[in-house]
Amino acid sequence: MSRRLAFLGPPGTFTEEAALRYDPAGSATLVSMASITAVATAVESGLADEGMVPVENSLEGPVAETLDALVHSARALMIRSEVVLPIEHLLLVRPGQKADAVKAILSKPEAIGQCRGFLERCFPKAALEASLSTSAAVQEMMQRQDAAAIANRRAAEIYGAQVLATGIQDRPHNLTRFAVLAREDHAPTGRDKTSIAFAFAVEDRPGLLVSSLQEFSQRAINLSKIESRPSKERLGTYIFLVDVDGHRSEGPLAEALERIKAQCSFFRVLGSYPRYAEPAT
């Protein structure tokens, strides 16, 4: 039985494009899911072996649903791998439709946010309508007379849409990082990164965060990202999410993680996995 790889669908989403890049040989069976939470649930339940979900975008920042799933609900899952995908947004319409007929523009909220400047300049009066995915937006748009959709070229090809404009994202260097979720993370490769989430007790003291991060600097471990999410328990309490270089099983990093864990009320390793590298051409 082939490996089952769930992704945020339907076919034609950027997440499907990331899944195809992750599995260029086509050895996995792709399983389309309606939401990021559904992808995580599919992997947790065994319906899929791995799941591809977006984590962050270079223009819009973190994908809250993915981070919240990893921290609050899908605690049996870990990050096994990552894919970084260049994002080019296209404005799609029904074949033959003109720009002046567009009264509404559909897409996933993150995609709309990444194209806000273009939309304000070219379609200032159009209603912006959220869809579950860029691909779903195209499917809905094709059933309407007054709408356009923001999506990728693959969606245009799959659903027979016409490209009205290309490269409509606000900045040319638009990248999205995707995570591959699984029930286990990756074995060491020598070029790894580790993601962790942690929080302090409500009665924390000044300097706790600095003290924790010093555990990395004292061991010459590079910290590549830090952000925070609401704890969902009370106002003003947060969970910190950190990416560092190295594998959680390596001596210095393993020691640093244990020292940090001892200071925390909540601590979880989200996974160790290879740093993404562009495929050889």
Whether residue 280 lies inside any domain: the answer is: no
CB atoms within 10 A of CB 15: 28
Output the DSSP codes for 45-79: HTS-SEEEEEEEETTTEE-HHHHHIIIII-TT-EE
> Measured between alpha carbons, how far is 198 from 125 in angstroms, rounded to an integer?
44
Whether residue 279 lies inside any domain: the answer is: no
- Do 83 and 99 lie in one domain? The reply is no
Whether residue 187 lies inside any domain: the answer is: no
The pLDDT of residue 243: 96
Whether residue 155 lies inside any domain: the answer is: yes
Residue 233: pLDDT band with limits 50, 70, 90:
confident
Whole-prediction pTM: 0.86
- pLDDT tens by residue, 40-50: 999 999 999 99
The pLDDT of residue 88: 93
> Measured between alpha carbons, how far is 240 from 155 in angstroms, rounded to an integer?
36
Is the pLDDT assigned to residue 246 strictly greater than 60? yes
- Do 80 and 14 lie in one domain? The reply is yes
- Do 83 and 123 lie in one domain? The reply is no
The pLDDT of residue 202: 65
- Do 83 and 120 lie in one domain? The reply is no
- pLDDT tens by residue, 51-75: 999 999 888 889 988 998 998 877 7
Q: Residue 220 is part of a domain; what is its CATH number?
A: 3.30.70.260
The domain of 109 spans 90-165
Tokens for 131? 């869809």
- Do 31 and 160 lie in one domain? The reply is no
Q: Residue 14 is part of a domain; what is its CATH number?
A: 3.40.190.10
Whether residue 281 lies inside any domain: the answer is: no
Total number of domains constituting the chain:
3
Instruction: Identify the burial level of 136 via C-beta atoms within 10 angstroms of its C-beta, where 0-12 means exposed, 13-18 middle and 19 or more buried.
Output: buried
Helices 251-261 and 208-217 sit at what angle, rounded to 10 degrees? 170
- Do 77 and 117 lie in one domain? The reply is no
Residue 239: pLDDT band with limits 50, 70, 90:
very high
Tokens for 169? 């994202």
How far apart, in Å, do the first and last CA atoms of the chain sit? Answer: 30
- Do 130 and 77 lie in one domain? The reply is no
